[in-house]
Structure 1
Amino acid sequence: MSEPQTETQVLIAGGGPTGLSAAAELETHGIDTVIVEPRTYVSHTNPRAKLTNVRTMEHFRRLGLADDIREAANLPVDWSQEVVFCTSLLGDELARFDNVFGQNESEQYAETAQQIPQYLVEETLREGVREMSSVSLETGWRVESIEQDEDGVRATVVCCIERHSISEGERREISANYLLGCDGSRSTVRDQIGSSFEGDVNPRNNLGVVFRAPDLAERHHHGPAVHYWTLNNEIQGFMGRLDLEDKWWLIAVGVDDPNAVDPREIITKMAGDEVDAKVLTTDPWSARMLLVDNSRSGRVFLVGDAAHLNPPWGGHGYNTGVGDAIDIGWKVAAVLNGWGGPELLDTYEAERRDVHEDVIDISTTNMESSPADLISGELDSDENVDEDSYEDIAQEIYEKKKLEFHSLGLILGYAYDGSPIVVEEEAALPETGTVEYHPTSYPGSRLPHSWLSEDRSIYDLLGEGLSLVRFDREIDVSPFMSASETTSIPLEVVDVDHEDVARSYEQPLLLVRPDQHVAWRGSRCPDDAESILRRVCGYPVDDS
């Protein structure tokens, strides 16, 4: 733990995955950033999130961190892409899902999803940002209070640990142009700016357990799976492996008193027999569906869990926080680097709030088809299933749970149509679902992905500022380039000479933002190229 610097361009409160991702995004644009984080080390007590989804892995690829995340993971992607439903881990199989969460390679995305506990993600991101020249990670400090005016933010930070020449409780002041509150569900930053959560808490009690069971993997016959959902008359829940040795996690759903129950009894009931298990940790919790009333106050922004909380079913929470970090990161950087206009930062909440609402709604739907609700009344007292009922049970599970395990429509298909920094078209955004992903280059959508060679993604060609993707070199783009020079808005032309690829992008010219979302598209360079660039970067434009 060192003495934090007293001035920076961006101060980030909270060094979890969201704060670290925001710092990495800011680093790509050369922004001086300080992160203050109370924890001096990352605890392995609770895995929390266990899925880094397709879109988050694409972000990490762009930040140069995807390979590091995969190397840190204990479960290789090719180990399993399946989820199994069974009467117990040692009991009968009821249903099986394949290619869950987008873990099979595909033309539709640049990176597959990765099963990895949050603590390993966080450790990897910490290592990554410590190598970044413009980022300072200061552990053992937390933000205590905030003041701001039109010129900047001043945060009082307090030392959380006694070490060397710094005493616990000592305070320092850090001045910054902007502050990002990435300090989680109990956010001090949220309290300081007067924002508050609105929503509900589910009354059902759940219990998370982490344990070691040396022979459990060899005892069951279901094969490798990222989840095993156990449905029986005594207990419902789901479980999985944290590594390929002996470490497991489980979540028991609907536990009457999670503080009184014996976790070893839960392990036995979910496994279907006595298990040689050593309980490492327990974690009682209830699902929360909360969204902050305001995620911005002047120069201060709430990001990730500080702004929204959703039930964990589907694995969307931490991944949505990383998406927030990328969005606010490139926008703050654009303003600080002089090419972002006065209205750009307003679009953080305008664009992300709809995403937060969708994630909360879909996660809640997933929660409502929890294990306890899937096959009520179908099992006899010995957890036996009538042979004639298997097909009906499997079909019911598929219908109720497909959104949880197959949600690329949500993860890749969300769009910022209607955003003030997206150039709308007369035609409406094509209909999109939450299960199946249907690629489109419609403005506001994520740029559809294509592989240009075995390991070369179209995303690898994009610049750090705006990118003008051109599929036909005959198209004159000089108006855009002249406008870029006039406005000092960074714009890089990206020529893609693949006719077979071009056909799937609907238009031969696409203006793409740093976050890989399409801001404008057309068949030729428009006469008002400067107006389009200015709009996309948050400058007021006269539409008359």
Structure 2
Amino acid sequence: MYCTETEVIIIGGGPVGLIIALELDRQGINCLLVNNQLQTAVHPKANAINSRSMEHFRRHGIASKIRSSGLPSDYPTDVTYVTRLTGYELARLSMPSSSEAVKQAKHSNSIYDCSEPPHRCSQIYLEKILYDEVLNRKRIDVRFGHEFEEFNEINGGVTAKIRDLSANTKYNVSAKYLIGADGGRSKVRRQLGIEYEGEGGVLRRMMGGAMQATFFYAERNDQWLKLKESWQYWIITSDLRALLMSVDGRNKFVLLTRIPDSNKANTIDDKDLISRAAGVPVKSKILLRQQWTAGHALIATSYGSNKVWLAGDSAHLFTPTGGLGMNTGIDDGVNLAWKLAAVINGWGGPNLLQSYEKDRRPIGIRNLSFATEFAESIGSFGVSSKIEEDSEAGKVERDKLGYHLINHGQREFLIPGIVLGARYDNSSIIWQDKSLPVPDEPYSYISTARPGSRAPHVWLKDGSAICDHFGTGFTLLKFNSVKSIDRLFFAANKSGVPIKLFDCNENNLKSHYGADLTLVGPDGHVVWRGNKIPNECNSLIDRIRGV
């Protein structure tokens, strides 16, 4: 066996592992990315990138590239509920196309008060963009087709045993830290002896129990899909629950269906399922099928310790309602990466890494609760056998169900508070002020610079967003002529803490932040604010660096 060395080993090359690698590279940290697959995702999987994730991608200069993938810029992102694809429309939640969403954001006319509105892009496209980006970063050693076997914590670090699958040879890699971003069946989590807690595989009529995802090609035409273009079509009848999603806005789709009898899963006729959802025969080409289990609301009892940490699905498993699984994992990765980098670079204190779980696990629990609520709402109601009847009784049933569905759709898909309102109120590395926390309201986002919150978005006169000026370390936002800020920089420099000054005197900026000075962390969350530098300057610096 041959041995190599790096600073951080990342196990798992999905979106979470890839963003961690990019974040570490941005912080000047060398890392090794190990993935047991030879290529990025070939099945659509996740298909909703929320605003917070897009903000993270913006920081790496790839948000526009991602926005040019997935659904075309002029394609509606509506969610439509139907009896069949050729049947009755029960309800429709209209949402803007990507280009319209960007225009709304630019004019501050969006429910998502941010620089990057959400985007509908399949994981097959997202992973490829992230993968190409990590290949261009000099500090990232990418090894797809290599399988992690086990790790050992020795000599103040960690050594991983890895198998090169093509050569069938093993080798060791030594590092300072190891991250398990290797999914729900995480080998890293299992070796740590950490279990999930919560509910798994809860049975529902939809989004609960055994599920199948069929990725297929079909020429779009009015014979089987005469409805107005939508991102999602939910098929709801008394004998079938399914979800059809447009992957490319043209001829590629994925159909999610509940498998009533998991023992007969291998006998399912995919083409017949597609035709049943349409209500007419559909000429289709099956590209790939994948069976999985929905109904999870699971979270790891610990997010790791010492030299080994968990992020993404290895730390929590979601049912996909609300699109919170991958996006929560991306936020995990950003939080963990800067803290690892701080410790490796010598300025992070002994409590900094412990703050990762204190910050992120409550958010995992919060988001799991929301996702479960959405799954119950869409998956647990019954449907009358009259729903497809061309009769007054059928119309009554359709109107009644449509009312429920439009209310559900608004709750599942219009969730700016969940997406942008995650905050670290009880974090050990923020310097809290005396202001009261704003309500954690899932369906509306209340912008606040209270420490622990995401720094409020503001467009500047030059067309940039204020977040475009945040540095790789901490950023001190200065909105007025405040004197004696040098003391903060002196204290930071003494401890090696990187702080950048952004001096901006544009009108009304202070009103967004509630103070003349605001200190923003590397992940874009506020760690302190005030109208003058506190007398306890050294204590403030020690707090934010985890001492």
Per-residue deviation at 1:357? Answer: 0.7
Per-residue deviation at 1:394? Answer: 3.1
| 1:175 corresponds to | 174
Give the Cα–Cα distance (whole angstroms) in 2 for the partners of residues 367 and 374 of structure 1.
Answer: 14
Which of these residues, 34, 39, 56, is aligned with residue 32 of structure 2?
A: 34
Give the Cα–Cα distance (whole angstroms) in 1 for the partners of residues 466 and 4 of structure 2.
Answer: 40
TM-score where L is the length of structure 2: 0.92
Structure 1 residues 22, 230: closer, same or farther in 2, change over 3 A?
Answer: same
| 1:542 corresponds to | none
Q: Larger deviation: 386-395 or 121-130? A: 386-395
Q: Larger deviation: 83-92 or 218-227? A: 218-227
- Matched to 2:27, the amino acid is H
Per-residue deviation at 1:5? Answer: 6.6
Deviations 1:204-227 (A, max 9, x none): 322211111113467534322110
Q: Larger deviation: 336-345 or 138-147? A: 138-147
Give the Cα–Cα distance (whole angstroms) in 1 for the partners of residues 269 and 38 of structure 2.
Answer: 32
| 2:92 corresponds to | 96
TM-score where L is the length of structure 1: 0.92
Identity within the alignment, %: 32
Structure 1 residues 384, 65: closer, same or farther in 2, change over 3 A?
Answer: farther
Structure 1 residues 536, 370: closer, same or farther in 2, change over 3 A?
Answer: same
SS at match of 1:421: coil
Give the Cα–Cα distance (whole angstroms) in 2 for the partners of residues 158 and 383 of structure 1.
Answer: 63
Structure 1 residues 4, 500: closer, same or farther in 2, change over 3 A?
Answer: farther
SS at match of 2:508: helix
Per-residue deviation at 1:483? Answer: 1.4
Whether contact under 8 Å (1:87, 1:383) holds in the other structure is no
SS at match of 1:115: coil
Deviations 1:187-212 (A, max 9, x none): 11112222122222223322211111
SS at match of 1:104: helix
Give the Cα–Cα distance (whole angstroms) in 1 for the partners of residues 94 and 529 of structure 2.
Answer: 36
Structure 1 residues 54, 436: closer, same or farther in 2, change over 3 A?
Answer: same
Give the Cα–Cα distance (whole angstroms) in 2 for the partners of residues 54 and 473 of structure 1.
Answer: 33
Deviations 1:208-254 (A, max 9, x none): 11111113467534322110111222211211211233111111135
Q: Does 1:202 align with 2:202?
A: yes
Give the Cα–Cα distance (whole angstroms) in 2 for the partners of residues 281 and 155 of structure 1.
Answer: 33
| 1:140 corresponds to | 145
| 2:413 corresponds to | 405
Give the Cα–Cα distance (whole angstroms) in 1 for the partners of residues 373 and 389 of structure 2.
Answer: 29
Give the Cα–Cα distance (whole angstroms) in 2 for the partners of residues 101 and 405 of structure 1.
Answer: 14
Structure 1 residues 70, 187: closer, same or farther in 2, change over 3 A?
Answer: same
| 1:263 corresponds to | 270
| 1:50 corresponds to | 47
* Alignment of structure 1 residues 59-74 onto 2, 5 Å: 59-71=56-68, 73-74=69-70
| 2:292 corresponds to | 285
Give the Cα–Cα distance (whole angstroms) in 1 for the partners of residues 406 and 33 of structure 2.
Answer: 43
Give the Cα–Cα distance (whole angstroms) in 2 for the partners of residues 22 and 381 of structure 1.
Answer: 52
Give the Cα–Cα distance (whole angstroms) in 2 for the partners of residues 409 and 457 of structure 1.
Answer: 20
Gaps of 5+ in 1: 162-166, 540-544
SS at match of 1:459: helix
Deviations 1:9-55 (A, max 9, x none): 111111111111101000111101111112122242x2111111111
| 1:114 corresponds to | 119
Give the Cα–Cα distance (whole angstroms) in 1 for the partners of residues 337 and 230 of structure 2.
Answer: 36
Give the Cα–Cα distance (whole angstroms) in 2 for the partners of residues 499 and 150 of structure 1.
Answer: 54
Give the Cα–Cα distance (whole angstroms) in 1 for the partners of residues 326 and 396 of structure 2.
Answer: 41
Whether contact under 8 Å (1:289, 1:311) holds in the other structure is yes
Give the Cα–Cα distance (whole angstroms) in 1 for the partners of residues 289 and 236 of structure 2.
Answer: 21
Give the Cα–Cα distance (whole angstroms) in 1 for the partners of residues 191 and 277 of structure 2.
Answer: 44
* Alignment of structure 1 residues 350-499 onto 2, 5 Å: 350-370=358-378, 373=381, 375-376=383-384, 379-381=387-389, 386-387=394-395, 391-453=399-461, 455-499=463-507
| 1:164 corresponds to | none
State the aligned residue count: 529
Structure 1 residues 101, 216: closer, same or farther in 2, change over 3 A?
Answer: closer
Deviations 1:396-446 (A, max 9, x none): 223333221111111100110011101123343111211111111111000
Give the Cα–Cα distance (whole angstroms) in 2 for the partners of residues 187 and 4 of structure 1.
Answer: 25
Give the Cα–Cα distance (whole angstroms) in 1 for the partners of residues 450 and 161 of structure 2.
Answer: 44
| 2:157 corresponds to | 152
Deviations 1:64-115 (A, max 9, x none): 22122223x1312431131111221122221111337998232311112121
SS at match of 1:114: coil
- Matched to 1:49, the amino acid is A
Which of these residues, 522, 525, 528, is aligned with residue 520 of structure 1?
A: 528
Structure 1 residues 216, 256: closer, same or farther in 2, change over 3 A?
Answer: farther
Q: Does 1:320 align with 2:320?
A: no
Per-residue deviation at 1:381? Answer: 4.8
Whether contact under 8 Å (2:312, 2:328) holds in the other structure is yes
Per-residue deviation at 1:390? Answer: 5.4
Whether contact under 8 Å (2:387, 2:397) holds in the other structure is no
Whether contact under 8 Å (2:216, 2:252) holds in the other structure is yes
Gaps of 5+ in 2: 204-208
Give the Cα–Cα distance (whole angstroms) in 2 for the partners of residues 160 and 453 of structure 1.
Answer: 53
Structure 1 residues 358, 217: closer, same or farther in 2, change over 3 A?
Answer: farther
Whether contact under 8 Å (1:80, 1:226) holds in the other structure is yes
Whether contact under 8 Å (2:384, 2:397) holds in the other structure is no
- Matched to 1:76, the amino acid is P
Give the Cα–Cα distance (whole angstroms) in 2 for the partners of residues 452 and 26 of structure 1.
Answer: 28
- Matched to 2:72, the amino acid is P
Whether contact under 8 Å (2:35, 2:144) holds in the other structure is yes
SS at match of 1:441: coil
Give the Cα–Cα distance (whole angstroms) in 1 for the partners of residues 382 and 343 of structure 2.
Answer: 50
